Structure 1
């Protein structure tokens, strides 16, 4: 995978992993504030191929919870193969568009705190690995997982803001 996201300009640098917890908490707070935008249609899709702001918020919340469990498992079982989170089907199965934006914002900040706590406590396990399923199965260190999760948060904050402008 290229180390630069062509869409948002995020550059993957595993040296940034130690600050990932703080970055994720901050970005989740920004998403939560965006979901509190007065008089905004947070559940409506601007285009059929784009998720709505609340759907992106739900997705990010679930990413943080899934990543937390993956990192915890990698600490117990270095090198395990993670399964896909089923990102697209969750939108329907969990009814993302029908969820209350205030609830999603609160859950998102809680998920960021939970995941941040796990990252803050990694100690000597940063180099533990998992076989990560996206974009293709590949061995990834927990450093990469942390940086990738910062990318997810930053990228989806941009997705939400683009729809609210």
Structure 2
């Protein structure tokens, strides 16, 4: 992950956000009651196009005057969600490539909450985050577009035992991107 966003020494940390310890893989089997996304409705060949279609909404959210503002002390701002989604784009692009290049690779653990604090999502420039998100989305969309045939069934796994195919990884990934648009109301 990009670590060029460290704050000046002495900068106050943002209010704590309760870490999200949920295993969201259930969204592969049922519709998300919060955002309405149904991963099982996603056709794998459409993942790349959907990623591209969602980018303008993220760019718009990150260009809002209130992009830095948290709606509540314990809820991320659109900027923080945007930085997270940028990193999700990067991470899932890497994971897809890993699955295509290796047989059943394990995924490195990623603590999204620690990354948000370590990289100070709250202090990043929303215009830069929008540009980085768009660039990461283009790479990830291209990687999904390049998948074909039996490659959709190649596997990878998280350290907690959750197994994915390239297809289900893409569906799971899209839920994250869509769900956080719901979070920022974009």
Give how far 1:48 is off.
2.5
Residue 36 (structure 2) aligns with: 9
Residue 93 (structure 2) aligns with: 68
Give how far 1:158 is off.
1.2
How far apart, CA to CA, are the structure 1 residues paired with 2:164 and 2:133? 25
- Out of 47, 62, 79, the position equivalent to 1:35 is 62
TM-score (norm 1): 0.89
How far apart, CA to CA, are the structure 1 residues paired with 2:124 and 2:95? 25
Give how far 1:66 is off.
0.3
Distance 1:41 1:132, change over 3 A: same
Contact kept? 1:24, 1:149, Cα under 8 Å: no
Give how far 1:132 is off.
3.2
How far apart, CA to CA, are the structure 1 residues paired with 2:142 and 2:35? 27
Give how far 1:159 is off.
0.9
Give how far 1:30 is off.
1.0
Q: Quick check: 72-81 or 95-104, which moved more?
A: 72-81
TM-score (norm 2): 0.79
Residue 175 (structure 2) aligns with: 151
How far apart, CA to CA, are the structure 1 residues paired with 2:73 and 2:31? 26
